[in-house]
Structure 1
């Protein structure tokens, strides 16, 4: 299970659990209406390669903002994982 963490938009600072070992590239995966979706910006990876957390950014925020907020919220320490930027 991977913990999803959200930065920006209406669900800022919300968390939820995702099933599976790899998080989807966008959340929600299929909106059906072409609405903006949160995109995967950062993964927290543990020493064994396990993904501990996934940081999703709102469409209106840039990668630098997401990184700064993730650092301020100290996700890497909290989940004992190393942050990896997703492109």
Structure 2
């Protein structure tokens, strides 16, 4: 699965994640108690998660959605995007 980042210091960066489900926050343990990035939505193809979109908590959901659509993540991964469970 691929982690895709919107906003913050790693805007437009990507990395591979292990596991069947993406973590709710990235990185999972910052040591400071405040996560840097929150899972906003995921893309599934044939039931499997193929990408996860992360953004800083303070970035409005509508802005994350706009940027994700502009970058064409769902089309790129041939996946269906859905909001992450809160």
- TM-score normalised by length of structure 1: 0.92
1-structure distance, mates of 2:23, 2:35? 15
Aligned CA RMSD, in angstroms, stands at: 1.0
Query: 1:43-81 deviations in whole A, cap 9, x for unaligned?
Result: 0011x2000100001122011111000000000010000
Alignment of 1:1-80 (within 5 A): 2-46=1-45, 48-80=46-78
Gaps of 5+ in 1: none
Is contact 2:29–2:35 with CA below 8 Å preserved after alignment? Answer: no
Runs of 4+ in structure 1 deviating by more than 4 angstroms, as ranges, are none
